[in-house]
Chains A and B, each alone.
Chain A
Amino acid sequence: MMLKKSAMNRYLYVCVVSALFFVLSNALYVDQIGKYDWTKNLIGKVELVAFDSSVSISKNVFVATDKNVVASISAKNGNINWRRTLAFNDGKIKSLNHVRDGIVSVTEAGVARVFEASSGVTKWDVNLAASKTEEEFLVHQVAVLEQSYTEGNLLVVLTNTEIITASLSKHHPKVKSVAFDQDISGAEYNKLLIDSQSSQILHFQLELRRGISVTVYDAKQLEIISQANVQNDWLATLDTVAVLEGNQLLYSCNEPESEMLYLVDFTSGKVLNSVRLELFDIESVASIVSVSNKDVTTHGPNVLLLHGQGKVSHIKVDDGDVKIGWKKELKSLREVVTKQLGSEEYSFFTSIDNQDVTITAMSVKTGLTDDSLTIRYQLPANTGEISSIHINMFLKRTTPIGFRALLTTTADTVLLVAHPNRLAWQRDESLASISSANMLDLPLSDGDAGIEAEFEEAERTSVPDMFAKRVKAQASQVVSFFKQMAKELDEGTLFKHKTRDPLIQVEGLTRDPFSLHKMIVVVTKAGSLFGIDSLNGEVVWRYYSSLLTDRDIHLYVQRTTAHFPHPPQALILGLDPQQQLNPVLLELNPITGEVEDKTDVLGGIKSPIMQATLLPNPDSTHLRPLLLLDTDLNVHLIPKTAETESVLKQLNLYLYDINSLTGLIRSFSIKSSNVAKPTWSVTVPNTHRIIQFGGKPSGEKIDSLGRPLADRSVLFKYLNPNVVAVLSESLEQNVDRCSLMLFLIDAVTGQMIHSIVHKRSQGPVHLVHSENWLLYSYRNAKLRRIEVSALEMYEGKTQFNSTSFSSFHVRPNPPTILQQAYIFPYGISSIGVSKTEKGITSRQILFGLKKGSLFGIPRKLFDPRRSLHPNEKHREEGIMPYSPEVPVPPELFLSYNLTLEQIDGIYCAPSALESTSLVFTTGLDLFFTRTQPSKMFDVLKEDFDHMFIGAVLIGLFIAALVTRRLSQVKQLNKSWR
């Protein structure tokens, strides 16, 4: 017994050592960093912008984005200086201000944070909502009251129930609040302004049919100084209300027959003056533009009235008199902003005519402008339309002011444009929200393509012809090889690395022998498409169409680059999530990015599209037709030709449709007709909702049909390609009553192969389904931890039918299902699995961790046959003893010391090297690397000593020659003797 025990210990020891060995061999050396991996740090769609200096030209731009990121971007080159991601349960970022104390951000849920402007370090944060719930508390507007250094700046927040102030200079801010008598209506009917000179807070509230109520608070004590009501029953928007210096309020009446401008003292509500707009020759005012600053001390006596189509009139209030100044008319005017710096007050007029953006700065007082104050910029193609303009105005010595504009577009691109039309930098932020990615092989070089073309025309040419062609093609390859070598010798680049990746020595966008260099085609949620070079992450091509915005975009690669001379082809299908709008179809060459609109092909489809899939079989041009199924069960083929229809007729196709809203899974059979027939339906219990599903990847390569056991028998895998895993979560969220259910359904027959219930567990679920195994992560609600469940399906020791598989075969036994669960020590945001050319290399499970890493662990650790008490058989098979926790050694992080935020997709593609799988992760950061799950067994190590081996070989050869000669001489002498 004792002996056995020690044997087991030894076994454990061997296991640990081998695991360590494995681990170490997988790790990365410092000098390998950045050789074949790259990262692209992104921030997300820019929503709020603050410039860092108001007087001189700004060096940094501070932004807040839809991904809850606060970042500082260098205004020089657009690089990220620092980036901080805020928790999503703090709510969306509502405001961003740059003040002396740092960057102040306030979220919708009332979390205020101050970041050090230069480093991004959080100085302090405070929850202004205190104990109020989300429904009770909503931040409307934020202002910062800038005061002298001794008094310190004050953060002023207007919420639906109160005004809150917090002093910014102190690390433990004093939070004061004054509640309203009743909750205030929507944000657009309220205006929060401050007066830094008299340290007052002004709150304007428009009450429909009653007028504007103006409340002035003392900023220090939050006591009401004055409250007045400006009575009128027609004002419907605060756009036509402007606050001027000296507690004056200017607003216009647009009622027909009484178009007037009123000037009111808002502390008393007394009308100071009223002027008929007719006198100024103005009809009805669309809006009144005053200085955009929240501080009323910067609001001078001047305002601009916008009326009609691009008409602007300058109004000056002088000692209670309302006077008209200059008048202008601008074409296709989009936006007017007034900014004030010292004594300079300028208005910026943005006109957008198609792709041309013109921003003109005009002195408000004089209405004068000149050429040095105009930016005329043409938006580059495929960047979308302008969605917002942020002006950075600064003082200059010669001309009084200068300015730059930060433009954001509907394609989520950010551009910084300077005078006269210079693009300082551009960031493609739609890459932060990628919905799907595809890694495609690059096209062959011309020489290789010539040989490939031979096979294409093999049927038409005779053997001697083909032989001659082959000799010719290979001769030209030899010639071009020597030419290339001569050229490299000439340039002295023969022994230099062509690219930074030691394994890719083919320049340009041509396929390398190991097929490690790929084109990554990504589809983003903003509706743009990108072709990214996998070598360095550079954008090769981009495409944006406004047709694709707000749609679910699906990319189908119909033909890869493998079929020269046919060009690669992909289809992009844009579906409206609400199924209201017509679908959009584009044809794309994924290598060059050429796009052709094919929407008219969909003309015959009357009902919304329910399902789309590529047919498994290609036509004679190697194009896989796309099959569309509409809700009336009509089948459509793209392209629709006699040949593709015959391809469809040969197939016996079954489609399934999962409706996560109704919990219904339906299947349809398509058999030589253009109408699909419903076959089976399965429904999850009505106390559950479907949260995740996963079929097996089509055309998956499986290296072995079974697993050899210790007793020399084989345990055959259940390799039904039609298995679909569906996971549902209970609607009940209570910890003790919630549950998670897994259904394994044969998608052809609708048979329930297996089902499992996880009690006291809930989503989110991440899933990988491949070969005969399934792995998914879920949250154990009771024990508050993440668990990973592994499931394997086996047919048993005998195979039912070793030659073919059909779901309709009636098997004597249901498959054996083995399942085991493990504790995962980190939060999981995504799961993927490595893919190799032939599937011989063992699989690696890739986890995107919430803490910001990509972690790759051998699938061996998720073998449900791991036993708690291993015996001889387990040892012989090499199954590790069971331990409930998944080890996370730092050496197994594919992302080494990088932080990859919000990983939401892990995509893997095989290379021509069996050992190597390419990995691309998406999220707030893009990361590309490659992984060798079973080490690099088919490539010599980088430090392999070629010179030494060569020298030894040559030495031995020479030695053999010399000794042969010597022995011959000796033999001869012997014979003479």
Chain B
Amino acid sequence: MCNVFYLLVIVSCVWIRATAHESGYSLIVEHAFGEGEFQKRGEILFSNLKGDEASFKNPVQLSPSEVRELEKIAKQDGMYKIRMSTKLQEVSSKTEDSSWVSTFTYANQLLGTDLHHALNIHTDGLGSIISISIVPVPCIDCRHDDTFDFDTNVIVTVPIQAQSPDTAGFLTKIEEEKRKKEKQANEPQSFFGKYWMFIVPVVFFMMVSNAAQQQQ
């Protein structure tokens, strides 16, 4: 839960920033109940083309009939679907784009969290939307009232740069080891440290012979 809260904080920060300047790129989000037609749900505003920050804008309020429809579908174990277009467009040019990415959740799961959910959007960081997914997140500090309003958090992720073989690190390690070894070899060693392997047997032999003499 702590983590969810943390995410919420981030997203709300993003939201505040996005509202501060209206420029950016927006994508239409549509939703459908069950097998019904897709209808406009709102827009997601990306503050830049890289598309790593986004916020939900212009939400369309659910009409009472839509709320009833949603509840009906929830009873039938039906799906609530969302889709959005894949290419970032400027706010001004609201042309229809035929290619969409879509996602779904079960309507009863969504009602179970009082329509509180997160939209995870995955972009390639270059302006293409790869996937969208909806996760109903239980809301703890939300007000519990009877209004059916979507409470949406938008989380945008981009692919992570892969690790490549760490040759440089390995070479430095080898180099370091080599240097250390050289250092060790060059370090002045005490006489005993250098020739202990000869001294110890001699001492041992002497001790043994001493002990033998004493016994005699």
Contact = CB atoms under 8 A, between A and B. Distances in A.
Asked if A and B are interacting partners, one says yes
A823 B165 contact: yes
Given A757-B159, A884-B166, A750 B103 contact: yes
Nearest to B34: A677
Given A680-B103, A759-B161, A749 B124 contact: no
Nearest to B173: A868
B167 A755 contact: no
B131 A750 contact: yes
A755 B164 contact: no
A756 interface: yes
The residue in A5, A755, A823 that gathers the most chain B C-beta atoms within 10 A of its C-beta is A755
B165 A683 contact: no
Interface stretch (B23-31, B65-73, B94-102, B196-204): B94-102
A883 B104 contact: no
A474 interface: no
B133 A750 contact: yes
B180 A5 contact: yes
A756 B159 contact: yes
B134 to A, nearest CB: 9
Nearest to A819: B163
A786 to B, nearest CB: 11
A682 interface: yes
Given A5-B180, A677-B35, A681-B102, A813 B164 contact: no
Given A755-B122, A810-B137, A868-B173, A681 B3 contact: no
Interface residues of B, number: 47
Interface in A760-790: 780, 787, 789
A680 B133 CA distance: 8
Nearest to A789: B162
B194 to A, nearest CB: 15
A812 interface: yes
A861 to B, nearest CB: 13
B102 A680 contact: yes
Chain A interface residue bracket vs B: 35 or more
Interface string A651-681: 0000000000000100001010000011111
B124 A752 contact: no
Contacts of A812: 1, 3-4
B169 interface: yes
Contacts of A808: 106, 109
A820 interface: yes
A822 to B, nearest CB: 6
B160 interface: yes
Given A687-B128, A750-B103, A757-B161, A677 B166 contact: no
Contacts of A682: 101, 130-131
Interface in A488-513: none
B133 A883 contact: no
Contact of A751 (B135, B162, B164): B135
Contact of A820 (B79, B130, B136, B163): B163
A813 B3 contact: yes
Nearest to A759: B161
Contact of A884 (B105, B106, B122, B165): B165
B160 A822 contact: no
Contacts of A882: 166, 170
Interface string B1-30: 101100000000000000000000000000
Nearest to B118: A810
Given A679-B104, A685-B124, A758 B135 contact: no
Nearest to B1: A812
A808 B107 CA distance: 12
A754 B159 CA distance: 7
A688 B125 CA distance: 13
A949 interface: no
Given A813-B3, A823-B167, A883-B170, A757 B79 contact: no
Contacts of A669: 79
A111 interface: no
Contact of A752 (B99, B122, B126): B122
A896 interface: no
Interface string B138-151: 10000000000000
A684 interface: yes
A677 B34 CA distance: 10
A813 B5 CA distance: 12
Given A680-B102, A681-B101, A812-B3, A822 B165 contact: yes
A974 interface: no
B58 interface: no
A336 B212 CA distance: 109
Given A812-B1, A883-B170, A749 B133 contact: yes
Nearest to B117: A810
Contacts of B1: 812
Given A810-B136, A823-B165, A681 B100 contact: yes
A787 B165 contact: yes
A787 B163 contact: no
A755 B160 contact: yes
A883 B120 CA distance: 36
Nearest to A787: B165
A2 interface: yes
A743 interface: yes
Contacts of B81: 679
Contacts of A755: 122, 130, 157-160
B3 to A, nearest CB: 6
Given A685-B130, A750-B133, A868-B170, A821 B164 contact: yes
Interface string A671-709: 100000111111111111000000000000000000000
Interface string A49-64: 0000000000000000
Contacts of A823: 165, 167
A655 to B, nearest CB: 14
Nearest to A680: B103
Interface in B110-124: 120, 122, 124
Contacts of A2: 184
Contacts of A883: 170
B164 A810 contact: no
Given A681-B101, A808-B106, A821 B165 contact: yes
A918 interface: no
Contacts of A166: none
A271 B131 CA distance: 75
B86 interface: yes
Nearest to B100: A681
B35 A780 contact: no
B167 A884 contact: yes
A513 B31 CA distance: 58
A823 B168 CA distance: 13
A685 B126 contact: yes
Contacts of A397: none
Contacts of A970: none
Nearest to A755: B159
Nearest to B83: A681
A687 B128 CA distance: 9
Nearest to B86: A683
Contacts of B83: 681
Nearest to B129: A683
List the 4 closest pairs (A to B, CB-CB), nearest first: A685-B128, A884-B165, A755-B159, A757-B159
Given A683-B129, A743-B130, A757-B162, 16 more contacts: A664-B99, A680-B131, A681-B100, A681-B101, A684-B130, A743-B131, A749-B103, A752-B157, A755-B160, A756-B159, A758-B164, A812-B4, A819-B162, A882-B166, A883-B170, A884-B166
Interface of B: 1, 3-4, 35, 77, 79, 81, 83, 86, 99-106, 109, 120, 122, 124, 126, 128-131, 133, 135-138, 157-167, 169-170, 173, 180, 184
27 contacts: A2-B184, A5-B180, A664-B99, A680-B101, A681-B83, A681-B100, A683-B86, A683-B101, A685-B128, A688-B124, A741-B124, A749-B133, A752-B157, A756-B161, A787-B165, A789-B163, A810-B135, A810-B136, A810-B137, A820-B163, A821-B164, A821-B165, A868-B166, A868-B169, A882-B170, A884-B165, A884-B167
